[in-house]
Amino acid sequence: MKYGMTGKILRVDLSNQTHTVEEPDEKIYRTYFGGSCLACYYLLKERPAGINPLDPENLLIFASSPLVGSGIPGANRFSVASFSPLTGYYGEAEAGGWWSPELKRAGYDAILVEGKAEKPVYLWINDEEVQICDATHIWGKVTGDTQAIIRNETGESRARVASIGPGGENMVRYACVVNNLRHTNGRSGMGAVMGSKNLKAIAVRGKQKISFKNNEALKKIIKWYTDNFMDHPIERILHDGGTIGWDVTELDEAGILPTRNFRSGSFEDADKICGETFHTEYFVEADSCHGCPIRCKRVARSSGEHQVDPTYGGPEYETAAAFGSLCGISDLEAICKAHELCNRYTLDTISAGSSIAFAMECFENNLLSIQDTDGLELNFGNHEAMIRLIHKIAKREGIGDLLAEGTWRAAQKIGQGSEKFAMQVKGQEMAMHEPRGKGSLALAYALSSTGANHTEGPHDYLFQEGALGVSDLTELGLLEPTPAVYLGPEKARQFAYMQKTWNVFNTLGLCIFTAGPGKLLKMNQVAEAIQAATGWDTNLWEIMKLAERTITIKRAVSVRQGVSRKDDRLPDRFFEPLEGGLLKGKALDRNEFETALDMYYDMMGWNRKTGVPRPGKLVELGLGWINPILNQH
Interacting residues toward another protein by CB under 8 A: 233-234, 236-237, 240-241, 243, 245-251, 253-254, 256, 274-276, 317-318, 431, 433, 441, 454-455, 458-459, 461-462, 464-469, 484, 512-513, 518, 582
In whole angstroms, the minimum distance from the beta carbon of 386 to another protein comes to 23
Residue 631 — φ and ψ, nearest 5°?
60, 40
Helix or strand or coil: residue 298?
A: strand
Closest to 165 in 3D by CA, of 138, 133, 141, 198: 141
- Pairwise CA distance, residues 222 & 228, whole Å: 10
Contact predicate 570/435, CB 8 Å: yes
In whole angstroms, the minimum distance from the beta carbon of 586 to another protein comes to 11
In whole angstroms, the minimum distance from the beta carbon of 502 to another protein comes to 9
Neighbour-count burial for 495-519, b at 16+ CB within 10 Å, e otherwise: bbbbbbbbbbbbbbbbbbbbbbbbb
Residue 155, judged by CB atoms within 10 A of its CB (0-12, 13-18, 19+), counts as: exposed
Q: Which is nearer to another protein, 4 or 437 (CB)?
A: 437
Running DSSP on this structure, what letter comes out for residue 208? P
In whole angstroms, the minimum distance from the beta carbon of 289 to another protein comes to 13
Helix or strand or coil: residue 164?
A: coil
C-alpha distances out from residue 280 to 219, 244, 270, 271, 332, Å = 37, 13, 15, 12, 11
Q: Which is nearer to another protein, 201 or 441 (CB)?
A: 441
Q: Which is nearer to another protein, 466 or 477 (CB)?
A: 466
In whole angstroms, the minimum distance from the beta carbon of 311 to another protein comes to 24
Contact predicate 571/420, CB 8 Å: yes
Q: Which is nearer to another protein, 240 or 592 (CB)?
A: 240
In whole angstroms, the minimum distance from the beta carbon of 548 to another protein comes to 21
- Pairwise CA distance, residues 137 & 133, whole Å: 11
Q: Which is nearer to another protein, 464 or 627 (CB)?
A: 464
- Pairwise CA distance, residues 86 & 89, whole Å: 8
Q: Which is nearer to another protein, 110 or 176 (CB)?
A: 176
- Pairwise CA distance, residues 443 & 549, whole Å: 19
In whole angstroms, the minimum distance from the beta carbon of 342 to another protein comes to 17
Q: Which is nearer to another protein, 64 or 440 (CB)?
A: 440
Residue 206 — φ and ψ, nearest 5°?
-145, 145
Q: Which is nearer to another protein, 198 or 453 (CB)?
A: 453
End-to-end CA distance of the chain: 37
By DSSP bridging, strand 9-13 and strand 110-114 are parallel
- Pairwise CA distance, residues 93 & 450, whole Å: 9
Q: Which is nearer to another protein, 507 or 534 (CB)?
A: 507
Alpha carbon 481 to chain centroid, angstroms: 27
Residue 579 amino acid letter: E
- Count of H-run helices and E-run strands, the chain: 23, 16
In this structure, how many other beta carbons lie within 10 angstroms of the beta carbon of residue 295? 15
In whole angstroms, the minimum distance from the beta carbon of 484 to another protein comes to 7
Our CA angle for 39, 530, 448, nearest 5°, is 40
In this structure, how many other beta carbons lie within 10 angstroms of the beta carbon of residue 392? 20
- Pairwise CA distance, residues 562 & 230, whole Å: 46
Q: Which is nearer to another protein, 166 or 435 (CB)?
A: 435
Residue 493 amino acid letter: R
In whole angstroms, the minimum distance from the beta carbon of 407 to another protein comes to 21
Q: Which is nearer to another protein, 382 or 455 (CB)?
A: 455
- Say which residues have a Cβ less than 8 Å from residue 181's Cβ, sequence separation at least 6: 143, 144, 147, 311, 312, 313, 343
Residue 500 amino acid letter: K
Q: Which is nearer to another protein, 256 or 612 (CB)?
A: 256
Q: Which is nearer to another protein, 323 or 513 (CB)?
A: 513
Q: Give the chain's length.
A: 633
- Pairwise CA distance, residues 202 & 163, whole Å: 6
Half-sphere exposure of 569 (CA within 13 A, CB side): 12
Helix or strand or coil: residue 62?
A: strand
Half-sphere exposure of 85 (CA within 13 A, CB side): 28
In whole angstroms, the minimum distance from the beta carbon of 550 to another protein comes to 18
DSSP H helical ranges for 172-274: 190-196, 215-228, 233-241, 248-254
Alpha carbon 412 to chain centroid, angstroms: 25
In whole angstroms, the minimum distance from the beta carbon of 326 to another protein comes to 15
